[in-house]
């Protein structure tokens, strides 16, 4: 596919699923906003403040996953299985590190950031 398909068709074929995924993620925020807006403005504010953080988490996880997947595939294609295993181990470690960073932010940093961005917290 990558070596035989024209660039225009390839860009469309690869970018459309990514765009659909991003649209679905954005629709989660819209639906949550519609649902919680019925309860209070504070609930809508909370959902609106959490959305960028959710997108950062998705971007970090997806970016690491795609990058590590590419590295593993290239190593396996070159018949270097041990290097592919090392890449997989490093990928798992990096995902765990990203998880811990977001966890620490959620436990320690979310409150101060949200208080900074809203008049009442």
Whether 87 is in a domain gets the answer yes
> What's residue 106's pLDDT?
92
Whether 1 is in a domain gets the answer no
Whether 101 is in a domain gets the answer yes
- Rounded to whole angstroms, the Cα distance separating 84 from 77 reads 10
What is the domain count for the chain?
Answer: 1
The answer to whether residue 10 scores a pLDDT higher than 90 is no
> What's residue 2's pLDDT?
60
> What's residue 105's pLDDT?
94
The answer to whether residue 115 scores a pLDDT higher than 80 is yes
3-state DSSP assignment of residue 78:
coil
pLDDT tens digit sequence for 49-90:
888 888 899 889 988 998 999 999 999 999 999 999 999 999
Whether 103 is in a domain gets the answer yes
Whether 47 is in a domain gets the answer yes
Beta strands in 22-92 (DSSP E): none
Whether 2 is in a domain gets the answer no
Whether 13 is in a domain gets the answer yes
């Amino acid at each position: 596919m990558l070596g035989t398909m024209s660039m225009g068709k390839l860009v469309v074929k690869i970018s459309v699923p990514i765009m659909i995924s991003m649209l679905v993620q954005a629709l989660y925020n819209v639906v949550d906003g519609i649902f919680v807006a019925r309860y209070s403005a504070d609930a809508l504010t909370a959902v609106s403040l959490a959305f960028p953080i959710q997108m950062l988490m998705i971007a970090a996880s997806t970016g690491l996953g795609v990058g590590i997947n590419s590295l593993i595939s290239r190593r396996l294609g070159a018949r270097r299985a041990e290097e592919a295993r090392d890449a997989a181990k490093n990928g798992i470690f990096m995902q765990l590190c990203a998880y811990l960073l977001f966890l620490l932010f959620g436990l320690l940093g979310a409150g101060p950031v949200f208080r900074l961005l809203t008049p009442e917290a």
